[in-house]
Structure 1
Amino acid sequence: MVTDNPEIKTPALLQAKNLSRNDPLSGHILLHPANCTVEPGDRIALSGASGSGKSIFVRTLALLDKPDAGELILHGKPVQRADACRYRAQIAYIRQSPVLLQTSVEGNLTFPFGLTVNRDKKYDRQKIERFLHAIDRPSAFLAKDSDTLSGGEKQLVCLLRVLQLDPCLLLLDEPTSALDESTAQLVEKLIEHWMYVNDRRTATLWISHDEQQKARVGNRVWQMKSGRLTTDEIAEGQE
């Protein structure tokens, strides 16, 4: 007879074990062996000075750059090399400078569904409209040409393009650093809505140099210094 066992713990969303990277030319260590665990509902703020290795770590965690050593474990299962495309569909990376196709907003949003990795998914306009409603944008926004969008609007479209695909973890590499404060808070609001509708089963890891923003978006604080990661510091006021 099978019974519920309270001691059985749900696997972490993502774990990294001894993840490291070296400069392929000089051999210089870019990322010292890093160990971390991301749980559902985590909102992690990654702090550190410019050049400390934050982006290197996040890009390696996203498998955009190949690690030289270490292991990634997604939902309790080790990630194999052949799994990289599906892994990147779950662990989504958002960079500082948005890149869009020269078509309408909706054309940019439908584009990912033509990719092999998303062949089992379908574009859901009503889902997008709910996201737009959360940030006070009308449905007519979908008809706008991407060339006419402001920098902030382009970043919102890039976010929508990713969020509609239901990743489990967002890796945010200073996505609002070039935006004014009101637009930056719209980006934050969109991400918060995404986490809410997913019932906190998702997580975010956010690089930011803005102390006020880090306080808003983070309930955990990680630190990067000279390529060395320190985790599990509790954000002030979030205990």
Structure 2
Amino acid sequence: MVVTDNSEVETPALLQARNLSRKDPLNGHILLYPADCTVKRGDRIVLAGASGSGKSVFVRTLALLDRPDAGQLILHGKPVQPGDACRYRAQVAYIRQSPVLLHTSVQGNLTFPFGLAVNRDKKYDRQKIERFLQAIDRPSAFLDKDSGTLSGGEKQLVCLLRVLQLDPCLLLLDEPTSALDESTAQLVEKLIEHWMHVNKQQTATLWISHDEQQKARVGNRLWQMKSGRLTTDEIAGRQA
């Protein structure tokens, strides 16, 4: 799909979705009605909605973890092509609720992505990781811990570090702290805020959260999902 609205193209958009939709492949039931949205640099978007409203369906589709049935994604002003999925997911990173780690050390988990073809031009930077750890008051010795000895919160932090070190432009956060206690959840928030700061607010986040206090802490925009239909704050503003 070609974007013809010049005023929109000229905005500093990281990601745009146009008429993005998805159906259940088994029965054809509509899971996501055609959705339009724009994510800009510095955005901290909260995606709200009742359980089962389609929030995760939308975010997974936006991450290209589930293939959309129709619509167009535009990253940094360029339409995303079918063969771009791996490179796209390196830029638009999805963080799930339940962390998954390799059975090795923390550092082993962090170095693993650099063996993948999509990251062949990147190198593991231990000093960069140590700066992230300093931001959340963790010693460098944390890197030597075995992943099997980590708490749920520590595992989520490692998953975040594994993604953040690769310099994505957008984080899609699918209830990443829902299973964590409040203090650990705020550590996750602190790490993400540090990432935003070191990137000079040129990156963005989209959070799914049911915690009202967390929404207030992490969000500067509010989107709503209801029965598979997305309402963004831009649309809400035009309707007001």
Aligned ranges 1:1-239 → 2 under 5 Å: 9-232=10-233
| CA deviation string 1:183-223 (max 9, x = no partner) | 00000000000000000010000000000000100000000
| CA deviation string 1:36-88 (max 9, x = no partner) | 00000000000000000000000000000000000000000000001110000
C-alpha contact 1:48 1:224 (8 A) present in aligned 2: yes
Quote the Cα distance in structure 2 between the aligned partners of 1:83 and 1:183: 35
SS at match of 1:108: helix
C-alpha contact 1:221 1:233 (8 A) present in aligned 2: no
C-alpha contact 2:9 2:77 (8 A) present in aligned 1: no
- 1:4 corresponds in structure 2 to none
Amino acid at match of 2:37: C
Quote the Cα distance in structure 1 between the aligned partners of 2:80 and 2:31: 22
Quote the Cα distance in structure 2 between the aligned partners of 1:73 and 1:9: 13
- Using a 3 Å threshold, how does the CA distance of structure 1 residues 8 and 161 change in structure 2: closer, same or farther? closer
- Using a 3 Å threshold, how does the CA distance of structure 1 residues 143 and 11 change in structure 2: closer, same or farther? same
Q: CA deviation at 1:10?
A: 4.6
C-alpha contact 1:41 1:200 (8 A) present in aligned 2: yes
- Using a 3 Å threshold, how does the CA distance of structure 1 residues 70 and 233 change in structure 2: closer, same or farther? closer
C-alpha contact 2:34 2:71 (8 A) present in aligned 1: yes
After TM superposition, the structure 1 stretch with the greater mean CA deviation from structure 2, 21-30 or 152-161, is 21-30
Count of residue pairs the alignment pairs up: 228
Quote the Cα distance in structure 1 between the aligned partners of 2:82 and 2:100: 27
Quote the Cα distance in structure 2 between the aligned partners of 1:32 and 1:63: 16
C-alpha contact 1:220 1:233 (8 A) present in aligned 2: no
- Using a 3 Å threshold, how does the CA distance of structure 1 residues 8 and 222 change in structure 2: closer, same or farther? closer
| CA deviation string 1:80-136 (max 9, x = no partner) | 001110000000000000000000000000000000000000000000000000000
Contiguous gaps of at least 5 residues in structure 1 = 1-6, 235-239
Q: CA deviation at 1:9?
A: 3.0
CA RMSD of aligned residues (A): 1.3
Amino acid at match of 1:50: S
Contiguous gaps of at least 5 residues in structure 2 = 1-7, 236-240
- Using a 3 Å threshold, how does the CA distance of structure 1 residues 32 and 76 change in structure 2: closer, same or farther? same
C-alpha contact 2:63 2:92 (8 A) present in aligned 1: yes
Q: CA deviation at 1:233?
A: 6.0
Quote the Cα distance in structure 2 between the aligned partners of 1:157 and 1:29: 35
